[in-house]
Amino acid sequence: MPHQLDHRNLSVGSRTEPSAHESRDERHARHVNDLAHTRGFALLRDQIISRAQPTQGDRVLDVGAGTGLLALAVAPSVAHVIAVDSSPAVCRLLEAEARDREVGNIEVVVADARKLPLPDSSIDLVLSNYCLHHISDVDKQVALREFARVMRPGGRLVLGDMMFNVGFRTARDRRVVARLAFAMLRGHPVAGLRRLLVNAVKTIVAPSERPASVEWWEQALGDSGFCEVDVMALEHEGGIACARRATTAS
């Protein structure tokens, strides 16, 4: 999940209260849950599901499911949802939310996107939202090949993620980076400048977010066993990629 999406729409609708004894994973889960309640992510969720066109018989895989932004929304429209996340604390929150809403067709699994505990050709629709920018480009391709492996031929993939290049190669890249920097500086210039500098150092030394460009996604999806690839850059730093699993895996 990202730190920025659409800066006009990221006001938090509800925040979970911190605990003095919570673990790092629990803090992460709380942060993910807060982001899932923002207007910007709700809009992105609706765009992803609209493009996915889920049907009643679909078996759906939600990769990097978080606290259920996509899984909970799509569950009433499909047969079964497998929601995968690498964080046990996040998965516990999703399980609790599904119980509270009496949603019975979501199966929550703690697993890595690069090694899915699912059989070949068992999934009709793969969804993902702001998950893969946390891993390297090489690992993104490993994950994409795993998606293709578990999808049935002709199955659909729709994912949203950060899609820009920090190398400022295009006008959009420069606009995105400038917008992110402005958001940090707005309101509290001194604190914003400190945050901007810290993030710049982290990006160079030990990046926790590794976005890839629209062009990279187009190439990577084609190389990973997908066809009918369509990648669209959005107004903010994100983009949405749609594809189908080729009838013959590459």
Pairing of strands 123-129, 106-110: unpaired
For 195-224, b/e burial (b = at least 16 CB within 10 A) is bbeebeeeeeeeeebbbbbbebbbebbeeb
Q: Which two tokens stand for residue 195?
A: 């945050």
The helix (H) or strand (E) run that includes residue 123 is strand 123-129
Residue 181 is predicted with a pLDDT of 52
Amino acid residing at 83:
A
Structure tokens belonging to residue 64: 């990097």
DSSP state of 74: H
151-195 confidence digits (pLDDT tens)? 999 999 999 998 876 655 655 555 555 565 555 445 555 443 444
pLDDT tens sequence across 37-96: 778 788 999 999 999 999 999 999 999 999 999 999 999 999 999 999 999 999 999 999
Residue 112: pLDDT band with limits 50, 70, 90: very high
Alpha-carbon span 238 to 245, nearest angstrom: 23
Helices (H), 14-168: 24-36, 39-52, 71-74, 88-100, 137-150
- The helix or strand, by DSSP H or E, that contains position 109, with its residue range, turns out to be strand 106-110
Q: What is the mean pLDDT of residues 103-122?
A: 97
Q: Report in angstroms the alpha-carbon separations of 171 from 20, 39, 97, 164, 210.
A: 44, 26, 41, 10, 19
Mean pLDDT throughout 203-232?
Answer: 85
Task: Judge whether 79 and 56 are in contact, CB under 8 Å.
Answer: yes
